[in-house]
Amino acid sequence: MKKLYSLFEKTFGFIYHPVVRFYRFNGYKPKDFLSFVRYYVFGAKCSSDEKKYLYLDVTYLSKCERFAGICRVVSKIQEFLPVVQNEYEIVPVTGKQFLGFYELNTKKIVVPSENDVFLSAEVTQGIVDSNNRFFRKIQKRGCKLVFFLHDLIPVLFPEFNGSMKFYKYYKKYLAQLAKADGVICNSNSVLKDFKKYIDEKKIKTNKNLKMSYTHLGVDFKPVSFTENVRDSETIGFLMVSTVEVRKMYDLAVQAFDILWKKQLNVTLSIVGKYGWKAEKAKALIENNEQLGKKLFWYNQGISDKELAEQYQKCDCVIFASRTEGFGLALIEAAIYKKPLIIRDIPIFREVAQDNAFYFEGNSPENLAEKIEEWISLYKAGNYPKSDGIKYISWQESVLNIFNFIEDL
């Protein structure tokens, strides 16, 4: 092996050394490239360690400052995998472009053996798509390659992407998933979207690819507080999420403008920081004459106790999103037993079923009409109750992921 490696360096040094300089410039060390060549080009043998390892991709989590979204999902998988099983030793790993994956703690290159598992719930741009050789090599060694898929929003709704670059990356990312041994989605809706996508795009798949889904877990507990006295005649509505274009805050604010012009005694509270591509919503909120009176925007971040207060003092929670990967926020509202007015999209139907009031369309007039209809039902006590929404714990969710892996 040493002789072969030495021959490679002498023969291809004119390529090898500039590449090493490139990776050093991008924060990599020459030994990263050396390890990659040794293990994944020349196929160095694995150690004779008889332990079984489950390598968990934490590339983005290890750098994540905001504990939310995908970071939260990966952290929960990492937390509960040792709880639901003792067959595998869990090894967190991080990826590098074109250079495979490295153990987070030891910085050693990942060299899986037969019966090991590589699991990724990350979507770090430039990592999964650039490591095709790594993934094919570990599969050839007998390691199970499994991905957790959150959604297909970047390819199904490219208008909501931050850039065309991410759209192109995500297409490569999904193509990589199709070559895996297993893909488990966070909902049946996402699973159907993925199957339809690979069929329509005629993406080459692993002939033994297995797919399934499990809902995300919830360990959310209501926070108690001393309830404030408010006008019982006022009906308060709440929206919780980052203010971004696909959440359709502009639609909601315009609908409430119609209600306020009709002199309806309603308020709208928005809890969420300003995201991106939501300039219209931001302007509608900040320039609204009802801001601070009947319209309230908590955009600087609030504590769990303050969020609990918002949930408990509102009468109804609205979700107008055009698309979502999973309806976790619906469950959060349901835990507080708050009624829901939500858009009629597949994932919301899957999560809430008949336990919510649905609306369609993208016109403020239509949404305002539906809110008025819900108010009539609410006053008559005939509105859909959210406490019938079913959910599972994070431990149950991670156990479902592990059982899927075991069945591969």
CA–CA gap between residue 312 and residue 71 (Å, rounded): 27
Residue 251 has a CB neighbour count (10 Å cut-off) of: 22
Q: Check whether residue 69 and residue 123 sit in a common domain.
A: yes
In a domain, 34, yes or no: no
Across 367-381, average pLDDT = 97
pLDDT digits (tens, 9 = 90+) for 4-54: 545 554 555 444 444 544 444 344 455 555 555 555 554 544 445 678 999
CA–CA gap between residue 123 and residue 126 (Å, rounded): 9
Q: How far is CA 236 from the centre of its chain?
A: 29
CA–CA gap between residue 96 and residue 243 (Å, rounded): 32
Range of the domain at 70: 49-216+396-406
In a domain, 3, yes or no: no
Kindly state the helix (H) or strand (E) to which residue 287 belongs, with its residue range.
none
In a domain, 228, yes or no: no
Q: Check whether residue 61 and residue 208 sit in a common domain.
A: yes
Question: What is the bridge-based pairing of β-strands 295-298 and 235-240?
Answer: unpaired
Six-digit token string for 290: 């009802």
- The backbone torsions φ and ψ at residue 149, rounded to the nearest 5 degrees and listed phi first, read -100, 125
Q: Check whether residue 139 and residue 176 sit in a common domain.
A: yes
The answer to whether 28 and 96 are in contact (CB under 8 A) is yes
CATH of the domain at 338: 3.40.50.2000
In a domain, 5, yes or no: no
What is the three-class DSSP state of 118? strand
Cα distances (angstroms) measured from residue 296 to each of 189, 208, 248, 369: 33, 52, 16, 22
* DSSP-based helix, strand, coil % in the chain, nearest 5: 45, 15, 40
The answer on pLDDT for 59 being more than 50 is yes
Six-digit token string for 25: 């410039």
Q: Check whether residue 369 and residue 324 sit in a common domain.
A: yes
Residue 162 has a CB neighbour count (10 Å cut-off) of: 12
Give the range among 45-59, 121-135, 376-390 with minimum mean pLDDT. 45-59
Q: Give the residue from 133, 129, 122 showing the smallest Cα distance to 93.
A: 122
pLDDT: which is higher, 27 or 408: 408
In a domain, 294, yes or no: yes
Q: Check whether residue 55 and residue 191 sit in a common domain.
A: yes
CA–CA gap between residue 64 and residue 58 (Å, rounded): 10
Give the range among 62-66, 73-77, 79-83, 175-179 with minimum mean pLDDT. 62-66
Q: Check whether residue 247 and residue 190 sit in a common domain.
A: no
Give the range among 26-30, 249-253, 369-373 with minimum mean pLDDT. 26-30
Kindly state the helix (H) or strand (E) to which residue 16 belongs, with its residue range.
helix 2-25
Locus of tokens 């500039």: 18
pLDDT digits (tens, 9 = 90+) for 382-399: 999 999 999 999 999 999
CA–CA gap between residue 65 and residue 63 (Å, rounded): 6
Q: Tell me, what's the pLDDT at 164?
A: 84
First-residue to last-residue Cα distance in the chain:
34
In a domain, 11, yes or no: no
Q: For 97, which DSSP code?
A: T
The answer on pLDDT for 349 being more than 80 is yes
In a domain, 19, yes or no: no
Q: Check whether residue 202 and residue 268 sit in a common domain.
A: no
Give the range among 43-57, 129-143, 350-364 with minimum mean pLDDT. 43-57
Across 348-364, average pLDDT = 97
Q: Check whether residue 83 and residue 210 sit in a common domain.
A: yes
Give the range among 162-166, 197-201, 313-317, 388-392 with minimum mean pLDDT. 162-166
Q: Check whether residue 239 and residue 106 sit in a common domain.
A: no
What is the three-class DSSP state of 95? strand
Q: Check whether residue 150 and residue 286 sit in a common domain.
A: no
Locus of tokens 């209600």: 259
Across 223-227, average pLDDT = 59
The answer to whether 27 and 96 are in contact (CB under 8 A) is no
Q: Check whether residue 162 and residue 274 sit in a common domain.
A: no
CA–CA gap between residue 28 and residue 97 (Å, rounded): 10
CA–CA gap between residue 93 and residue 100 (Å, rounded): 10
pLDDT: which is higher, 84 or 49: 84
Six-digit token string for 316: 């109804």
Q: Check whether residue 186 and residue 315 sit in a common domain.
A: no
In a domain, 173, yes or no: yes
Across 224-248, average pLDDT = 80
Instruction: Provide the angle, in degrees to the nearest 10, between the axes of the packed helices 164-177 and 188-200.
Output: 90
Domain count, the chain: 2
Which segment, 40-54, 185-199, 269-283, is predicted with the most confidence on average?
185-199
Mean pLDDT across the chain, nearest whole number?
A: 87
CA–CA gap between residue 246 and residue 321 (Å, rounded): 6
